Amino acid sequence: MGDPAFVPSLGQILSSLRANPFQYPKKHGALAGTRGVEIRFKGAPYRLLYQIFREEHIVRLIALDERKSDRVYRRAANLLGGLLDDDIELA
């Protein structure tokens, strides 16, 4: 998770989500109920989309993909109906 090609690093993002998952902006429309983190990978814009389950103290990662042509948002919208195993326990 310390790949220098990611800015910020994935480790930094996961730490920031554990500390305060509400710090990143809310998404709207088909992605209402999700939030997004801006990331750069090898200079290209990427987004990490996630959901917060406050009562369970869980952050569920939905999608990490290039921002290009809104592909990450379409992918997240397709995945929201299924269950993912990438939950992060909140402190």
Tens digit of each residue's pLDDT (9 = 90 or more) over 37-91: 999 999 999 999 999 999 999 999 888 888 876 778 777 877 776 433 444 444 4
Q: In the predicted model, is pLDDT for residue 6 greater than 90? A: no
What is the side-by-side order of every strand in the sheet holding 34-41?
Answer: 6-7, 34-41, 44-53, 58-66, 87-89
Check pLDDT > 90 for residue 1. Answer: no
pTM summary value: 0.76
How big is the CA angle at 2 (ends 10 and 80), to the nearest 5 degrees? 25
The residue ranges of every structural domain in the chain are 6-89
Amino acid at 39: I
CATH of domain 6-89: 3.30.2310.20
